Amino acid sequence: MDVKEYFQSYRDYFWEWQTDNDIEDDLHPLASHNIIYFPTVASVVGYRVYIIEILKELQLQGWPPFGALLLVLYATQDGYKQLRTLTDGLKKHISREEIETSYNEAVFLLKKLEILDRKYKTGRNRVFLLQALFAGNKMSLTSAKSRELCDNYVLRPNIIERSANVLELTGKVFRKDINALAYINQKFPTTESIEKALQGIIEIPKLEDEVVEEETTVETDKDFIQELIEEPKTFQVGSLIKRIWSGLRIPMRHLSPGEQPIGGVSDMTNKGDFSRMLLSEFANEDEVFMNRVANNEALYIQREIPPEENIFERIILIDTSLKNWGTPKVLAFASAIAVIKHPKAHSECKVFALGQNTVPIKLDKVDEVIENLNHVSPVLEVSQALQKFFDEEHTEKNLEVFFITHQENLNSQKLQKVIHENRDQLKFLVTTSADGELNFYKHHKGTRKHMQKMMLALQELWANPPKYKQKSLNTNSGSKKADVPLNYPILFPVPVNKIAAFLHEGDFYVLSSKKQLLKTYLSDNYYNKDYYEYYHIHRGCEVLIENISIKPKGQFALARNKAQHFILAQYLPEKRFLSKLNLNTKEYSELSLTGRNIPHSFELTYFNKKFYLRDNESPQIFEFSPDGTLDVETVDNNIEITKSNIKIEAELKKLKRSGIKILSNFTSICINAEENLVVSHNEINKLYDNSLTMYRNRHQLQIFAQQNKNRFTFSDGSEVITDTRGMLTFRSSNKNIPEFYIPSSDNGFLAMATEKDFGGSEYYLPKKSLLRVRKMEEMYSEYLEPFIEQIWEHGT
């Protein structure tokens, strides 16, 4: 295998080489074919420079198949991903039964990587993750061959130009990519096994980063394009947008060269890799050469400085004259939304409808698209409105104007004249037709250049329009988020991310990264060794206080004052700053300890109704009270505080692994072909006897619930209310089925409860509960099964 073969692209495969035309620099060959693009999901996976840097990191263990690497990069990148669309597109290449098995395992791996914690997929940790995944892969090249290919690429980077010329796809290429991923899936059957392999290697971000990430995990609105597709009135527009994205080649942003070195002294530096060292340096004597390298005196070729983005205003003008009515207008609106909502578009964009006058419109919501699609003007052509737009309303130079009109309108001499006279500002011209043809033109240096022609298969894209949705029978469904109680009859799962844990007066408390004070429990039998080894001692938690206003830094201690209010003390050692917050009344006080002689070894602790700043060795320590004003006084150290801390630390170690991964980002709720409930791609099922579990769904989805904030409503009126703290509430349209609750955790056995009954894992059973404990099989058949049957019968 040579370099060209390794980077070779193939016709109708899931990836291809493309050029980012935002940077036009003939002096640098990397400006050509400099990105990897996935057409089926209209997504850029990465720039060539970044991918080459990744391959340099992998050369010692061997380069994996290029397609397999790209799929892993896509699954681990930030932002919205269309993994289902991508994997469905790969199905057409399956020809044999053994490949189908490997394909399924490859898909499972990509889904695991998609839900893997973000801290493993960012910065340097992403490189460590790739190294761990592809280590020892049977499909990878040898390290010697990889180094050879890497060296050949450095000498001839223009080889990509030849690799970009597509060839016919062979089964061998597809098998390599899929089998490489299948091998990784067998090696790492769960996300936990991947995380375990990275322990001790990755750089764990600070807790602040984890807090921000978890707080943003809330219910998200549906993808705007998908909403257009699901709405019958905008289906034709929405179904065209992603197809337009896959072929759109206009620049989404403009870049200026900035301070890019262009040769000479300005293009040199005294730091860099040996591969970029000037050849003249190797002409020195060995001692001189080593001395120059050691003292950072050797000269290297400097890497390019990234270009700077130009700020401009983008304006789209849509022709709403009589000739642009019907299918051409649908294409016009689809083209406009494709430009506005393109994944790479970051500049401000305004839209105007041209008719007798210029009317500003918005296309950010489904209702706005429906309203403006009905906009029609009783004029034959819009030359007058277009000229008025440039003469009176927009005369500035930093404009980039798109004008979308019917192809036949260009035959109008008046319109041609206006377009020609304003060609400096009218950068792009888009023409539509009734048969689905789109043409893109660009005005450059006074001339019009035809950029591309796009034929949209309208009959295929519009073959399956959605049916009008039946209104929910629940009249309470509105735009307001459904209220959730502070606690439920069963316990919440304890979150993995914690700021601090406390043992106070015999009870365990957790300060979660969502800034909640939680109370949790351990089994009463955990001192019985046999019982401890056979059963899990941890229990879930109840929420005591929410929305605590703190910064997750420093040291914490918890106490109760004389009024039995919770008092949270916080100490920042680096700033010598102490604060006290009453969690019940929100009363806050702070004190700067700057100037006081406080050793760095001092820690914040609680003992016998007092807070202390102390260590075990100092004869004098600082004391302050949970009550009254915040003021510290110096007191003698006490060996009893040390003994108490040792006991508390021993007890708190029992909470070390009490956290469970909570499913809190609810994207969809539906029922699959096996008549089981599916929550955000996780199926709730009786995998084992007398148990309820949640694991990845592998069956076809049949009936979907409509989402409104945290309320998911089925067509019969049955509802599922989601709570991001880790709970699902089920309300059936059949009033004979009482309301019941199931925790939303994808780890371990679940529980189910009503206001009277409980079944399932004791982890979720409150310590002092009056619920009647029943077998999970009885709970399932009495509550969840009838809930699903009610929806299924109505849906079929």
DSSP state string for 599-625: -TT-EEEEETTEEEEE-SS-SEEEEE-
Please determine, for residue 450, whether its predicted confidence score (pLDDT) is greater than 50.
yes
Please determine, for residue 583, whether its predicted confidence score (pLDDT) is greater than 70.
yes
How far is residue 131 from each of residues 76, 113, 150, 198, measured CA to CA in Å?
13, 14, 17, 10
Domain spans, the chain: 3-206, 262-301, 312-461, 498-655, 669-795
Please give the Cα distance from 2 to 539 (Å, whole number).
58
Most confident of 276-290, 463-477, 728-742: 728-742
Tokens representing 560 are 């109760």
Q: What digits encode the pLDDT tens for the residues 270-287? A: 877 777 788 888 888 988
Q: What's the pLDDT at 470?
A: 45
Q: Quick one: CA dihedral 212, 217, 218, 224, positive or negative? A: positive
The mean per-residue pLDDT over the stretch 561-577 comes to: 93
Q: Which residues of 445-483 are buried (b: 16+ CB within 10 A; e: fewer)?
A: eeeeeebeebebebeebbeeeeeeeeebebeebeeeebe
Contacts of 84 by beta carbon, 8 Å cutoff, 6+ apart: none
pTM for the model stands at: 0.45
Q: For residue 581, which of 623, 545, 635 has the smallest C-alpha distance?
A: 545
pLDDT bin (cut points 50, 70, 90) of residue 253 is low
* Contact by Cβ (8 Å): 207, 552: yes
Please determine, for residue 29, whether its predicted confidence score (pLDDT) is greater than 60.
no
Tokens representing 488 are 């439920």
Q: What's the pLDDT at 266?
A: 57
Please give the Cα distance from 191 to 76 (Å, whole number).
13
pLDDT bin (cut points 50, 70, 90) of residue 117 is confident
The mean per-residue pLDDT over the stretch 294-315 comes to: 69
Residue 33 burial (10 A CB sphere; 0-12, 13-18, 19+): buried
Q: Which helix (H) or strand (E) holds 292?
A: helix 286-294
Q: What's the pLDDT at 535?
A: 45
- What is the dihedral angle through the alpha carbons of 540, 660, 709, 107, rounded to the nearest 10 degrees? -150
Please determine, for residue 256, whether its predicted confidence score (pLDDT) is greater than 50.
no
Q: What's the pLDDT at 37?
A: 87
Q: What digits encode the pLDDT tens for the residues 662-704? A: 988 898 999 999 999 999 989 998 877 778 998 888 889 999 9
The mean per-residue pLDDT over the stretch 626-646 comes to: 93
Q: Which of 489-498, 535-544, 773-782 has the least mean pLDDT?
A: 535-544
Please give the Cα distance from 522 to 156 (Å, whole number).
64
Please give the Cα distance from 710 to 721 (Å, whole number).
6
3-state secondary structure of 187: helix
Beta bridge partners of 504: 507
Q: What percent of the chain has pLDDT over 70?
A: 86
* Contact by Cβ (8 Å): 748, 691: no
Q: What's the pLDDT at 669?
A: 95
> Which has more confidence, 29 or 636?
636
Q: What's the pLDDT at 46?
A: 83
Q: Quick one: CA dihedral 343, 112, 185, 54, positive or negative? A: positive
Please determine, for residue 525, whether its predicted confidence score (pLDDT) is greater than 60.
no
Greatest CA separation found in the chain?
A: 97
How much is the mean pLDDT over the chain?
83
Q: What's the pLDDT at 474?
A: 43
Tokens representing 436 are 């689905």
Q: What's the pLDDT at 634?
A: 94
Please determine, for residue 494, whether its predicted confidence score (pLDDT) is greater than 80.
yes
Please give the Cα distance from 310 to 402 (Å, whole number).
18
Q: What digits encode the pLDDT tens for the residues 589-603? A: 999 898 888 998 999
Q: Quick one: CA dihedral 546, 550, 551, 557, positive or negative? A: negative
Q: Which of 82-91, 244-253, 559-568 has the least mean pLDDT?
A: 244-253
Q: What percent of the chain has pLDDT over 90?
A: 33
Type of residue found at 259? E
Please give the Cα distance from 426 to 374 (Å, whole number).
26
Q: What digits encode the pLDDT tens for the residues 216-233? A: 333 333 478 888 888 888
Beta bridge partners of 438: 454
- Scanning 497-568, the segments in alpha helix (DSSP H) are 529-534
Within 13 Å and on the Cβ side, how many CA atoms surround 591?
Answer: 15
CATH of domain 312-461: 3.40.50
User: In the block, which residue shows the tokens 């004052």?
Assistant: 561
Please determine, for residue 346, whether its predicted confidence score (pLDDT) is greater than 70.
no
Q: What's the pLDDT at 322?
A: 76
The mean per-residue pLDDT over the stretch 170-175 comes to: 89
Contacts of 517 by beta carbon, 8 Å cutoff, 6+ apart: 509, 510, 511, 543, 544, 545, 548, 558, 566, 568, 583
Q: What's the pLDDT at 122?
A: 81
Phi/psi for 558 (5° steps) reads -125, 140
Phi/psi for 148 (5° steps) reads -65, -45
Please determine, for residue 443, whether its predicted confidence score (pLDDT) is greater than 70.
yes
Contacts of 136 by beta carbon, 8 Å cutoff, 6+ apart: 61
> Which has more confidence, 425 or 311?
425
